[in-house]
Amino acid sequence: MIKENETILTEFILVGLSADPRLQFVLFPLFLCIYVVTVLVNASVIFVYKFSPSLHTPMYFYLANFSFLEICYVSSTVPKMLANLLADRKTISFYGCAVQMYWFLLLGGTECYMLAAMAYDRYHAICHPLSYAVFMNNRVCTQLILGSWLVGAVNSLVHTLLTFKLKFCCNKINHFFCDIPPLLKLACMDTRVNEMVVFIVSGCVIVGSFILTMTSYKQIISTILKIRSRCGRKKAISTCTSHFMVVTLFYGSGIFMYFRPKSSYSMDQDRIIAVMYSVIAPMLNPFIYSLRNGEMKTAVKKLTRKLASTEEL
């Protein structure tokens, strides 16, 4: 029977966030609103950057790319989750599940190193302001962005290939999207190699980028403490606080999810953590960056006035 199930498995059932039909009709409008707000706010950041020459600096170049990444990231899981909340059969095809996992892990890995690149940018802006334009030129910024995508793609490919080479005894995924921990739970063969690869490869991606980020911040904090002017110190801190908040939220939840043995996986707990870093964080990040950023708010006001005057004509 197990061998038969292994050969005919063509789809998975996604349990979702809740099996209660009444709760599902509450969750649908809630997550639909979150998704729409996430896409609109992140798209607005890209729009403001595109049409505001004053923001054409490395810092806002990274913010615009980060917003594009967040739109893709939330779109890799939420639309399917919304469709399944209203569907009678909450299924995803075998290959559809593989594609979803690949894109989710690709975008997550890319975000790790994009956050590290953003920390590197702040390091040069605060620690080496006179040579900032030389170090963070357009070529370097583009290379760091492309490098982040390359790392994410390789990391995702490794995990997706290894996971979908497993034989599954069951097709019921106790989650709202295809991720490594819930799929390892379904395997009817030894998954120690997969767990070891997750620990090593994800360690290189998550912990490696986290160390790079914290190294930049160590230098930043050291430089800030040497600033004698209280106003200058406050301004330097304000440019880094938002980024540090995003880093803490993303890395904290990511490390909790992927650096545990399979025996300690708790799907009910993991679903809540997954919602935090895959749905809530992409919505909060542009608010954290934009609402705390004076230059961004000024650019929004100027662009709004410009659009209003154009409409009057």
Most confident of 28-37, 53-62, 278-287: 28-37
Task: Answer whether 88's CB lies under 8 Å from 76's CB.
Answer: no
Q: In this predicted structure, what is the pLDDT of residue 97?
A: 95
Average pLDDT, the chain: 84
In this model, does residue 1 exceed pLDDT 60? no
Rounded distance between C-alpha atoms, residue 200 and residue 268, angstroms: 25
Which tokens sit at 236?
């330097």
Strand spans (E) along the chain: 11-14, 91-93, 172-173
Domain count, the chain: 1
- Residue 144 has a pLDDT of 95
Question: Which pLDDT score, from 0 to 100, does residue 23 have?
Answer: 81
CB neighbours of 60 closer than 8 A, spacing ≥ 6?
A: 49, 295, 296
Whether pLDDT at 3 is above 80: no
Question: pLDDT tens digit string along 64-119?
Answer: 999 999 999 999 999 999 999 888 888 999 999 999 999 999 999 999 899 899 88
pLDDT higher than 50, residue 273? yes
Cα 235 from chain centre: 27
- Work out the average pLDDT over 184-198: 88
Picking from 109, 123, 68, the residue whose alpha carbon sits closest to that of residue 205 is 109
The CATH number of residue 184's host domain is 1.20.1070.10
Which pLDDT score is estimated for 239? 62
More confident residue, 45 or 18: 45
Residue 289 has pLDDT above 90, yes or no: no
Segment 244-266 shows an average pLDDT of 68
Angle at 282 between CA 141 and CA 204, to 5 degrees: 60
- Amino acid 258: pLDDT: 65
Q: Judge contact between 259 and 201, C-beta under 8 A.
A: no
199 or 20: which carries more pLDDT confidence?
199
Stretch 36-43: mean pLDDT:
95
pLDDT in tens, 218-249: 888 888 877 777 776 666 666 667 667 777 77
Give me the pLDDT at residue 105, please: 94
Contact criterion met (CB below 8 Å) for 97 and 271: no
Q: Tell me: pLDDT of 205 over 90.
A: no
How far apart (Å, rounded) are the C-alpha atoms in residues 200 and 191?
A: 14
pLDDT greater than 70 at residue 267:
no
Query: What's the domain range around 155?
Result: 2-312
What is the structure's pLDDT at 2? 44
What pLDDT digit, counting tens, does each position of 137-175 carry?
999 999 999 999 999 999 999 999 999 999 998 889 988
pLDDT score of 5:
44
